Amino acid sequence: MRYRTDFNPSLLGAAPDVLELGPWRLHYLAFSSSPGDSREPVLMLGGAFQSFRSFANEVQELLAEHPVILLDLPGQGGNLQEAGELSLEQLADLIAGFADSLNLPPLMPIGLSYGSTLAALFASRHPQRCARLLLSGITAFGRPGSRRLLEEGLNLLAEGRQQAFAQAALNNLLNPQQLQHTDVAPAFRKALLRQMQRLSAAEIARYRQNSQRLLDFAGFRQHPQCPTLVLAGEFDHFTQPWEQALFATACPQGRYSLIQSADHLAQFERREACAALYQPFLRGEPVPEQVSGGRTLAPQYLTLLERRSEARLRPQLPRAQLRHAEAGNWSVEVSELGFFGGKLNAALPDSLPARGWQLQWNDRPALEILPLQQSSQGFSFVTLHSDADASGALAAQLEPAQLSACA
């Protein structure tokens, strides 16, 4: 490996180096302070809607102590090659092929969101190639609600409802109920929404392939054996803190740190807190127990984290109309309600359509919902949040109840 030694952020938008492994093209950029650096490099693996340029700050910080490689596998980031036939496991094996071809020492992967699953699979399948592992927003997708939302996102794209897809994805990635804590700038939310609204046909095809890989993934047969640090945003609704804690628990050398006032994009929302935790870890030092904006939990507490990401309250208007264009309409009682889901009671048929449901209160905008678990009394559901007006009306209905509950 020959590293570039002239890093500046503008180079992250330059044409990458390309390594061909059989029919597959891997895009990468590699930087260090020395062209022949033999130290263990950090390997950056990003998530959906991210590119090399997303990590300008991280690369600049990490280069002070480590060589840094940014890698786009087929279908990731700026790599436009489609690879729908490859599983997550096969993509992880391509990382090992990349390391072998360039004769790299053991790697220190940093995986964010979708990239976290690839990084973890690489570490578990090729332990001799991985020195230590840093994950944020680990996406294992065993929770029924998260799977239903991911599936519905693919359905919306297949139907050409890209605006609805973008709105729903935004509210899952950036928790709108916690903006007063996460301080996500309105301009950042607007830019991310616009990016998803304007996805090209090729970008949509790659997103659908990557999402389907996550849905097809049967889970980890074995977990990484190397030192592993999992960073979880306190308000992450997409990959919830308790789920990430369970993953850390399954790793023999796993540690888990909770980033305060952050959600799924903790690395970008709370850079200083994340860096204060992972920089010692990458140096092989103990992970700090407490930093400004983050804390590391003792292993015995990881299985005790709250599994519901929000309070479910009885709404001020419990009576609502449940509508389905083909199945019919019902008057229902909503017994539990939160921004991301709830539970309704009604005498419903035993067999219900999986999608196409709306919940409406009086003349308020109809809220798209997805049934989860059905019983003789009704069903629990998750909210899709594909319409900004409906989401706003729901938030307005919840706010007085939440204030009352806290009084």
| Type of residue numbered 348 | L
What is the C-alpha to C-alpha distance for residues 236 and 234, in angstroms, rounded to an integer? Answer: 6
The count of other CB atoms within 10 Å of the CB of residue 222 is 11
In a domain, 147, yes or no: no
Would you state the structure tokens that stand for residue 44, as one six-digit string? 């950056």
The share of the chain scoring above pLDDT 90, in percent, equals: 87
E strands in 57-145: 68-72, 108-112, 133-136
Q: Within this chain, do residues 50 and 104 fall inside the same structural domain, yes or no?
A: yes
CATH classification at residue 390: 2.40.10.430
- The pLDDT tens digits of the residues spanning 266-275 come to 998 999 999 9
- The pLDDT tens digits of the residues spanning 201-254 come to 999 999 999 999 999 999 999 999 999 999 999 999 999 999 999 999 999 999
In a domain, 369, yes or no: yes
What global pTM score does this model have? 0.94
The share of the chain scoring above pLDDT 70, in percent, equals: 98
Q: Within this chain, do residues 66 and 137 fall inside the same structural domain, yes or no?
A: yes
* Average of per-residue pLDDT across 251-264: 96
Q: Within this chain, do residues 109 and 222 fall inside the same structural domain, yes or no?
A: yes
In degrees, rounded to 5, the angle at the alpha carbon of residue 192 between the alpha carbons of residues 186 and 195 is: 140
Q: Within this chain, do residues 350 and 298 fall inside the same structural domain, yes or no?
A: no
Residue 399's pLDDT is 76
3-state secondary structure 279-320: HHHHCCCCCCCEECCEEEECHHHHHHCCCCCCCCECCCCCEE
Single out the residue of 354, 389, 360, 394 nearest to residue 374, CA to CA.
354
Tell me which of 304, 328, 359 is where a domain ends: 304
pLDDT band at 330 (very low <50, low <70, confident <90, very high): very high
The count of other CB atoms within 10 Å of the CB of residue 286 is 9
- The pLDDT tens digits of the residues spanning 107-163 come to 999 999 999 999 999 999 999 999 999 999 997 757 889 999 999 999 999 999 999
Q: Within this chain, do residues 251 and 387 fall inside the same structural domain, yes or no?
A: no
Q: Within this chain, do residues 257 and 354 fall inside the same structural domain, yes or no?
A: no
Domain that holds residue 24: 9-141+218-304
Tell me which of 276, 304, 332 is where a domain ends: 304
Residue 102's pLDDT is 97
With beta carbons less than 8 A apart as the criterion, state whether 119 and 111 touch. Answer: yes
Of residues 285 and 186, the one with the higher pLDDT is 285
Q: How many domains does the chain have?
A: 2
| DSSP secondary structure string for all residues of 154-208 | HHHHHTT-HHHHHHHHHHHHS-GGGHHHH---HHHHHHHHHHHHT--HHHHHHHH
Would you state the structure tokens that stand for residue 179, as one six-digit string? 């903006």
What is the C-alpha to C-alpha distance for residues 218 and 183, in angstroms, rounded to an integer? Answer: 36
Q: Within this chain, do residues 62 and 32 fall inside the same structural domain, yes or no?
A: yes
Residue 407's pLDDT is 29
Residue 400's pLDDT is 56
Q: Within this chain, do residues 300 and 385 fall inside the same structural domain, yes or no?
A: no
Single out the residue of 338, 381, 341 nearest to residue 357, CA to CA.
381
Of residues 96 and 140, the one with the higher pLDDT is 96
Of residues 142 and 277, the one with the higher pLDDT is 277
* pLDDT value at 403 more than 70: no
Q: How many CA atoms lie within 13 A of 75 on its CB side?
A: 23
CATH classification at residue 272: 3.40.50.1820
What is the C-alpha to C-alpha distance for residues 31 and 19, in angstroms, rounded to an integer? Answer: 16
pLDDT band at 405 (very low <50, low <70, confident <90, very high): very low
* pLDDT value at 401 more than 60: no
Looking at 31-45, 296-310, 368-382, which range is the least confident one? 296-310
Tell me which of 304, 329, 354 is where a domain ends: 304
